[in-house]
């Protein structure tokens, strides 16, 4: 009991020091807690992340409704979107339906039903259909065009940087990526490739978010091994290849 009471109340020396130094002494003693080593949570936040990620997966996917769909925040909506994509793939791939044919048939059926409904409303008690006016907002179109322009300019700048002869590592990565895409493109047609990409967007992000610590740990080991092998390749082969000018022209 005496030990417990001594732990809960300040000691005699602490009371004397507080009388001498004033209330700042007690606040300084509490501030010393900030000098403690980082907790497990702060260490965990500095763990190596795939592709240098510093934000949650939800923000990497852009946030908002699209990220909620890809991460299955609302399972009904995500399942519905994936079901519609599957139905479209079945129409185009398995039933060999064509896009222009499908769009024309949908428009023919929709216009015929609305036209008949509008004329039949004269003979029946139901009111004619309310057809809303649809306009594309100028701001939305300009924002989409600006985003596409920005991405196109960034891609062209990257291609120019690779073609300049100074970024051999980026050149090899770009060639490897194009080779993988060409191989995958030879296995599937365009519609199937888009559908596979759509399915992967609905599976890989949610899987990664659930097991991100294990995936990042494995990816860190793989990246370390790739860097090790690239260093050997650079020392024996790539460093002996002549390159372009090393200095860029700086703008004034």
Given this model, what pLDDT does residue 41 score? 44
Closest CA to 92 of 161, 203, 183, 193: 193
Cα–Cα nearest to 155, from 177, 125, 126, 130: 177
Residue listed under structure tokens 């064509």: 98
Average pLDDT (106-125) is 84
Spatial distance between the Cα atoms of 118 and 108, rounded to a whole number of angstroms: 15
How sure is the predictor about 47, in pLDDT bands with cuts at 50, 70 and 90?
Answer: low
Give the pLDDT of residue 11: 54
Mean pLDDT value of segment 153-178: 83
Which pLDDT band, with edges at 50, 70 and 90, does 38 fall under? very low
| Predicted model pTM | 0.52
Under the banding of pLDDT at 50, 70 and 90, the label for residue 18 is low
Q: Is the pLDDT higher at 228 or at 13? A: 228
> 94: closest CA among 191, 207, 8?
191
In this structure, the chain runs to a length of: 252
Residue 40 has pLDDT above 70, yes or no: no
Task: Assign 153 a pLDDT band (cuts: 50, 70, 90).
Answer: very high
The helix (H) or strand (E) run that includes residue 215 is helix 212-236
* Residue 167 pLDDT: 74
Give the tokens for residue 180: 């993988």
The arithmetic mean of pLDDT across residues 82-96, rounded, is: 87
Asked if residue 91 lies in contact with residue 83, where contact means CB atoms within 8 angstroms, the answer is: no
Task: Show the tokens assigned to 12.
Answer: 């005699």
For 200-213, how does the pLDDT look when each residue is reduced to its tens digit (9 = 90+)? 988 888 888 888 87
Percent of the chain having pLDDT more than 70? 72
Cα separation, 138 vs 224, whole angstroms: 48
pLDDT of 27 reads 46
| pLDDT mean across residues, the chain | 74
The single-letter DSSP state of residue 47 is S
Q: What was the pLDDT predicted at 1? A: 45
pLDDT at 187: 82
Between CA 95 and CA 98, with CA 96 as vertex, the angle to 5 degrees is 125
- Each residue of 217-241: pLDDT tens digit? 888 888 888 888 888 887 777 777 7
Residue 70: Cβ-neighbour burial (10 angstroms; 0-12, 13-18, 19+) = buried
Looking at 164-203, list the stretches that DSSP marks H as alpha helix, in order from N- to C-terminal side: 168-187, 190-201
Q: Check the CA dihedral 208-211-212-217 and report its sign.
A: negative
Residue 44 has pLDDT above 50, yes or no: no
């Amino acid at each position: 009991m005496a030990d417990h009471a001594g732990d809960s109340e300040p000691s005699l020396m602490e009371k004397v020091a507080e009388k001498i130094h004033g209330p700042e002494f007690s606040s300084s003693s509490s501030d010393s807690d900030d000098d403690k080593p980082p907790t497990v949570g702060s260490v965990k936040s500095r763990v190596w992340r795939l592709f240098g990620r510093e934000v949650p997966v939800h923000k990497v996917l852009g946030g908002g409704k699209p990220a909620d769909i890809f991460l299955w925040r609302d399972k009904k909506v995500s399942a519905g979107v994936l079901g519609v994509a599957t139905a479209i793939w079945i129409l185009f791939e398995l039933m060999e339906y064509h896009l222009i044919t499908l769009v024309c048939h949908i428009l023919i059926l929709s216009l015929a039903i609305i036209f008949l409904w509008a004329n039949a409303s004269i003979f029946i008690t139901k009111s004619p259909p309310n057809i809303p006016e649809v306009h594309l907002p100028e701001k939305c179109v300009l924002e989409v065009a600006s985003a596409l322009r920005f991405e196109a300019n960034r891609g062209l700048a990257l291609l120019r940087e690779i073609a300049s002869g100074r970024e051999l590592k980026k050149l090899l990565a770009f060639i490897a990526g194009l080779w993988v895409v060409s191989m995958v493109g030879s296995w599937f047609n365009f519609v199937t490739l888009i559908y596979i990409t759509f399915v992967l967007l609905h599976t890989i992000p949610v899987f990664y978010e659930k097991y991100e610590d294990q995936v990042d740990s494995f990816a860190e080991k793989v990246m370390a091994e790739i860097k090790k092998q690239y260093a050997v390749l650079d020392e024996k082969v790539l460093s002996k290849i002549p390159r372009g000018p090393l200095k860029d022209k700086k703008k004034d």
